[in-house]
Amino acid sequence: MRVFFNLFVAHYKQFVRDKAALFFTFLFPILFILVFGWAFGDPSQSFDVGVVTQDTSEIAGAVVTALNEVEVLDDVEVGDLDVELALLRDGDIEAVIVIPEGFGDSLQMGQAASLDVHYDPSQTSTAQILLPLLQQVIDGIDRGITGNARLINLEEHSVQSHELRMIDYLVPGILGMSIMFSGIFACIPIIQQRQAQIIKRLGCTPLRRSSLVLSELAFRMILVLLTTALIILVGRLAFGVEMVGNWGVLCGLCILGTLAFVSIGYTIAAFVRTEESAIPIINVINFPMMFLSGTFFPVSNMPGFIKPIVDAIPLTYLTDALRQTMVDGTPLHPMTTDVLVLTGWLAVCLLITIRFFRWD
C-alpha cells in the first residue's frame, strides 16, 4: 500500500508541475464553455429587415406597424425595392418584405393575398429562424384582420442565382481552416530544427537564411494548392459543390492566406523555444479561430459583444473571401477589405518575427 501511495504522490507532483497539463485539463474546457456559450447560447438574436410598400392601403400600413413592434426585428427600414435588395445582397440586412400593390384590396374582399419575402439562403439563420418567425408574425396580423381565416401567404424568393446548401457553405470554410492549420503549424519544423541545433549548424555553412525560409514557404504553397484541389474535387464529386468564381482569384487568396498564417506561425516560433510549449499555444490560437470565424456557423448568429473578436480573427476574412469566390456567398466584408486585413496580418507578423526571431 505504501508503494501505491508513493507512486500516486509521484504522479500527482509530476502533473501539478506541468503547467500545460494543468491548463488543458482544467482551464481550457472552461474557456471553451464560456466562449462558445457566449457565442452560440444567446437566444436573443435580432434581425434587420427591409420593407417595400407598393400598396397604400391602411392594411399595408398596419403590416408595417406590426413588423416594427416585433422585438427581434431590430431595424425595420422602409425603402425602395432596388435599394433594399442591394442591401440584402451586400449582407447589410437579412430579408426584404414586399407588400405588393392591391394587397389591402384583396384582403378587404375576402381574397387571399401574398407578401413577397426576399432572402439569402446562404445565411442559415435567416432560413431557420427569421422565415418561420415572419410567418408567425404574418399569421398574427392575418387573425387580427380576417379573424380565423388564413388569407395572407408568404412567397419566398432567393436572391442567389443558384440555390446554396449547407455543404456549399461548409466547403470554403473547411478550405480556409485547412490553410490556417498548414500555415500555423509551419512553426513546428523550425522549432524542432532549432532544438536539435540543425539551424545553428546550417548557419556555419554558405547556406543563406533566406533560402531556408523560401524553401519552407514554397513547400507550404504547394501543399496548400494540392489541398485546395483535393477539397474542391471531393466537394464536387461527392456533393456537387460547384466552383462559380475565378480560379486565378481563388489561387491568389489561397497563397495570401498561406503567407498570412505562415507569418503567424513564424511569430510563434520567434517566442517559443520548445515543441512541447508550441503545441498548446497553437491549439489556443487555432480552436477559437476555427469556431468564431464563420467556418461552421454564420457569424450573424453570435451576440454583438463577441463581434469585435470575430472581426479581429484573420480566418474570418479568409473564409469570407473564399466563400464569395467559390460559391458566390453573401459577403461579410467587401473583397478589398478581406485582402487588406490578411495583408495587414502578414506585414505585422513578419515585422515582429524579424525583430524577435533567434536562430539558436
327 phi/psi in degrees, rounded to 5: -125, 10
Task: Give CA–CA dist 155/115, Å, rounded.
Answer: 6
User: Could you state, in order of their start, the residue ranges of all structural domains in the chain?
Assistant: 47-158, 166-356
Confidence band (pLDDT; 50, 70, 90) for 347?
very high
Give CATH superfamily name and number for 47-158. Answer: abc type-2 transporter like domain (3.40.1710.10)
B/e letters for 313-335, b = 16+ CB within 10 Å, e = fewer, are bbbbbbbbbbbbbbbbbbbbbee
Question: Which three-class secondary structure state does DSSP give residue 49?
Answer: strand
Q: Is residue 39 over pLDDT 60?
A: no
Supply the pLDDT for residue 292: 82
Q: Is residue 178 over pLDDT 80?
A: yes
Question: Which three-class secondary structure state does DSSP give residue 83?
Answer: helix
How do residues 140-152 score in pLDDT, each as one tens digit? Answer: 777 776 665 567 7
E strand map for 120-198: 152-158
Task: Give CA–CA dist 212/303, Å, rounded.
Answer: 44
Q: Is residue 233 over pLDDT 90?
A: no
More confident residue, 97 or 30: 97
Identify residue 102 by its one-letter amino acid code. Answer: G
Task: Give CA–CA dist 316/352, Å, rounded.
Answer: 22
Q: Is residue 99 over pLDDT 60?
A: yes
Supply the pLDDT for residue 124: 60
Confidence band (pLDDT; 50, 70, 90) for 110?
confident
Nearby residues of 218 by Cβ (< 8 Å), 6 or more positions away: none
Say if residues 118 and 159 touch (Cβ distance below 8 Å): yes
Mean pLDDT of the chain: 78
How do residues 306-346 score in pLDDT, each as one tens digit? Answer: 788 888 999 999 999 999 899 877 788 889 999 999 999 99
Nearby residues of 326 by Cβ (< 8 Å), 6 or more positions away: 171, 172, 175, 232, 241, 243, 244, 245, 250
From the list 171, 353, 345, the residue with the least C-alpha distance to 259 is 345
